[in-house]
Structure 1
Amino acid sequence: MSCLTIAIPTFQRAKYLDICLASLEKNMPQTIQDDIEVLVIDNNSQDNTAEIIKKHQISMNIRYIRNKENIGPDENFKKCITKATSQYVWIFGDDDVFFPTTLENIIDILKSKETIGLIHLRAKNFYDDADILDYHVQTFSCIHMASKENFVAKIHTNITFISANIVNKEILLKTINLKDIPNNNLGQMYWNIICILKSDLNIFVTNEAFGARQFNSGSYNLCEVFGKNFIDMLYFINLKYPISSFIEIYIKRLLMFYLPANIVRIRNGLSKVECKGCFKILYTKYKFRIYFWIFTVPAMILPKKIALFIVKQIEIILKKKNS
């Protein structure tokens, strides 16, 4: 029986799914094929997704499930969990790509460690396929983090990034009912946090372990999703599972860097994400938070080129600190 299910939810992106599956086929050696289940759940695409699946099924074992109707992205993500047959589930974006040796490293971790709650993988962002043609992952460098607060702080908003997190399905389904999770584009954040909470072993992989295609997500409002819904979801989880320490970590980091940096990128035309009504949304939630006034508000009102220069300098400092 496989120990890892790679579950790929997809809808109307046959072109990118083709590239994704080709990278999986290329980078899954025969020695670990029995350890991996490949599952694609199609949310009723009307393009040539089914043809792409058939093409790759010639040389790779793929379970293909096509929904009779579009059930929305949240429910499709949940279906990836319920339909997976392995203990560990890696929901992988249909426009992201696999790197050489990543799968061998992951299987080695899963087979050599005691029960793991969550494995977090860093992504290598790319804009064009040529950017990652020769990228190669060496042996994984892993941090085994006993402190759940430190683990959450290190992942931060990437707790919402499906391709960056491998979860323990057994822990998840023993703890929660997926039907109880709101459909607000952040359901994966709920089950990722539960897996972290319910395990004494969570692993942060410091390597850039897969390719994440940039500027390809559907449009959403940054401040609505990450300024409001993100925090609301944390408070919702907190009703059943005490995570008040997590909430304070997230709010501080959101207001100090994540929201300001992304607001500045949007103002400079470097992101497809929207930022309508930003001040009004954030003021309502954070008007009594000093970090809002010191860091977030200046990102909205400073001349955009000056604000971008400041963000880039901060990113350089952070990169040196984390290297």
Structure 2
Amino acid sequence: MTKLLLIAIPTYNRASQLQTQLAWIAKEIKGFEADCEVIVYDNCSTDGTQAVISEWQPVFGGTTLKSVRNPENIGGMRNLALSLSESKSRFTWTLGDDDPVDEGTLAFVMQTLRKYPDLGLLYLNYSAYYTQLDQMNHDRWLPTDFEQQPVDGKLAFQRCIEGPYTVGGVIFLSATIFRTEFTQTALRQWPDSVKNWGGMAFWTGYCATQGDIFVTEAKHLVCVVGVSKWEGEKKIHTRMLSKDIPEVCFKLQEIGYPHQMSRRVIQRSLGSYFYWARDVLSYLRPFKDWPLEMASVGAFLLFSLGASVLEPNKLKESSESLEPSAMSYGTAQERDR
């Protein structure tokens, strides 16, 4: 029988963090054992990850807890995509191995999915902890003015990705519960999304075109910022801003999102790039191909400026309003009347 929810945990060499996360799940899953399964996607860890999984398997009892171990490290994005592509459950929660989740969150997720089984996407609002600063940001990263029920997926996704954190706000894996079949279609539609650091924004954006979204007002977890290796590599950060984010935006346009949304997201993302202008020398110094990187930035700036000039004559503005006052989108059933 198909389970309602798969909790998929991609991991690599974080045995101690995985130990804590499995302890949280073992406590939270009581009462939902028949509807859940837990699979750890081990990206060829060399620490005690497999021993941790074996230790917890007897504890889970009636719930499936198993491990899929890659024979080699296939990269973080590919490992994440693997967990989604292999899921047999109706929904898939991609849960990070180190992200603290509030008590009672799994119960809320299960109750919401049971009540709204046709959701395209469930977003859990969250705050952030910056490890390098040892500082907590208590602001919610997703908009909080949505009705606490399913709303129009496409419009809600536009609000989220155009928020202050742009693409970063919609690619936090632990905050995202995917409708599995929609995500698998997205992966088939753009298989190279696994090569893009922001590719998850396309997966979630596609899910939003297929069904309603529920965005929680309450915070349910914390995004731990600064522990991933890529977050400290400025070349990767520059690539995300100059190549990956624009590419994601163009792919979202292909599935029906307006050009104006793409332009705003790209401009805001590039704005964050120039915020780091004081570090420009340290950005350029390690690059062998820095002229290409800077040319990419310039090209997208010219694209944005050119689009602004040509927009009245050559681009069709979406008729859908994105003003905050229009947040009562209604459910799919109400819109179909």
> How do 1:261-280 residues align onto structure 2 when only pairs under 5 Å count?
263=276, 275-276=283-284
Judge conservation of contact 2:263–2:304 (CA < 8 Å) in 1: no
SS at match of 1:197: helix
Judge conservation of contact 1:24–1:98 (CA < 8 Å) in 2: no
Q: Give the 3 Å change call, closer, same or farther, for CA 179–41 of structure 1 in structure 2.
A: farther
CA distance in 1, matches of 2:218, 2:283: 31
1:69 aligns with 2:72: yes
Q: Give the 3 Å change call, closer, same or farther, for CA 260–20 of structure 1 in structure 2.
A: farther
Deviations 1:167-198 (A, max 9, x none): 11122335651672332233322211110112
> How do 1:134-149 residues align onto structure 2 when only pairs under 5 Å count?
142=148, 144-146=150-152, 148-149=154-155
Judge conservation of contact 1:7–1:90 (CA < 8 Å) in 2: yes
Q: What displacement does 1:102 show?
A: 0.6
CA distance in 1, matches of 2:269, 2:249: 13
Q: Give the 3 Å change call, closer, same or farther, for CA 146–255 of structure 1 in structure 2.
A: same
> How do 1:146-157 residues align onto structure 2 when only pairs under 5 Å count?
146=152, 148-155=154-161, 156-157=166-167
Judge conservation of contact 1:222–1:275 (CA < 8 Å) in 2: no
Q: What displacement does 1:15 show?
A: 2.1
SS at match of 2:229: coil
Judge conservation of contact 2:153–2:208 (CA < 8 Å) in 1: no
> How do 1:200-211 residues align onto structure 2 when only pairs under 5 Å count?
201-211=212-222
CA RMSD of aligned residues (A): 3.1
Match of 1:282 in 2: 297
Higher mean C-alpha deviation, range 31-40 or range 279-288: 279-288
Q: Give the 3 Å change call, closer, same or farther, for CA 281–39 of structure 1 in structure 2.
A: same
Counterpart residue identity of residue 44, structure 1: C
> How do 1:93-242 residues align onto structure 2 when only pairs under 5 Å count?
93-126=96-129, 142=148, 144-146=150-152, 148-155=154-161, 156-157=166-167, 158-174=169-185, 177=188, 180-182=191-193, 183-199=195-211, 201-219=212-230, 220=233, 221-239=236-254, 241-242=255-256
Q: What displacement does 1:275 show?
A: 4.9
Judge conservation of contact 1:223–1:281 (CA < 8 Å) in 2: no
Q: What displacement does 1:63 show?
A: 1.5
Q: Give the 3 Å change call, closer, same or farther, for CA 252–63 of structure 1 in structure 2.
A: same
Judge conservation of contact 1:41–1:66 (CA < 8 Å) in 2: yes
CA distance in 1, matches of 2:296, 2:185: 36
Counterpart residue identity of residue 41, structure 1: Y
Counterpart residue identity of residue 205, structure 2: I
Match of 1:44 in 2: 44
CA distance in 2, matches of 1:234, 1:127: 27
Q: Give the gaps of 5 or more residues in structure 2.
A: 137-145, 285-289, 306-337
State the percentage of identical aligned residues.
23
Q: What displacement does 1:41 show?
A: 0.8
